[in-house]
Structure 1
Amino acid sequence: MDLEKGITALEKFFLDVIGQVIPGGILIFGLLHLYNPSILPYYMLNIKISTATWLILLALMYSTGYVVSSLSKVTIYFANLIRKLIKKKQIDENSIADLIIGEEVYKKVIVGFGFDPANRSRAVRDARNAILSGVSFEDNYLIRRFTFIALFNVGIATSLSITLILSFIDYVLANFTNVDFGLFFFDPAIMWGMVVGIIAFCDRYFDFYVRSMRTPFSIARSKVYIEPAVGSSASP
């Protein structure tokens, strides 16, 4: 048990670092490009960077990643708004609650834990937390993995969105007005590539967010309905 706790703590630390450093790094390097592309690493391959500089850079990327994480809610909001405009179903806590409670077997799981399905979002959230407190190490790992992938993808989408917006504003000002901030906007082809990337990463976020919410109920269903049935059929 202590070994499992140690592995879980180490995994959480590793995923937290990776989940913050990469989105934070994308935003930092995007902003550096806008300010002065010549200071980016791919222009400095022949220059040795000290270990202390790398550690400072990693710390800065990690801190920036937390800022990106807090702004991810804005990305999710606008992504859902776009889904609504193109007639696709919005994916948020309420829609997930409706989806889960809409399946009778999951509804029975919620009632079995003593929660009222009438309070949809709260009942699903509380039941999910109750399920997670009792699942196996392997099942918990799977759910954490889905959650990490969802947050990781929306973090990258947020970093790309911020970089794209700033680059597009500078591009418009430089080409259609007399205003020049002296920034180096990305090539339009790269900006279109960012748009495609943002769409792809947001789509991945929604996919794994739904999985992270539904999987605990699937696990609980198998424990309550499937395993007892298999056990009874196997008994003489």
Structure 2
Amino acid sequence: MSRRTISAVIADDHPVIQLAVKTTLSEIPNVQVSAMCSSGGELCAALKAHRPDLIVTDFTMGHSEQSDDGLRLIQRLKHYSPDTPIVVFTMLTNGGLLTRLQESGIAGIVGKNEAPDILRQICMDAISGRGLRLSPGISARMSRAGALAGGSASRLSPKEIEVVRMFAVGSTVTEIAEYLKRTLGTVATQKRSAMRKLNITSNADLVAYARDNGLT
């Protein structure tokens, strides 16, 4: 008796990464990639259309009024299909944000700078329902972050992280407020709070922080 086909969807805003992930998944027996998406909106649509057995997605992708990424996207995916395992393939380096990500109910996190066989094995574990799996690189990043005195970055709230990410990619405070459906004053306060926690005093340094920690 032949084994059933396992459906997977991929999301990344870089076509080369999409192809690399597809090639990696194709080496898992009976896995078939049903859709390749370049945004959170496309991924949510593919989830509804294909009802996949596995999602492999980037964390940071371009967003618009119709498309989320980051923690908001993970929350949407878990809402639409709570039992579908999610593996996040990412360049994130911020230990605090990685901790929040692993607490979101996903199946695995893999660094984009790691070998394809690591991604393949974690996807196989996700399909098998073996619980949260972290790649060696991600585990090392989180261990280093946990050893840092103070760990100020880990104290950013999910809402503050959203504001920092959107500001760093060029959105104004007014645009962020409209997109997140918050008041202008609330967003401004969240931005100031994040900068204070990170001991950052200029917008340029905030953008640099987001870039250096894989938030853009």
More helix by share: 1
More strand by share: 2
Higher relative contact order (CA 8 A, sep 6+): 1
TM category, shorter: under 0.3
Q: Give the TM-score of the pair, scaled to structure 2.
A: 0.24
Higher gyration radius (CA): 1
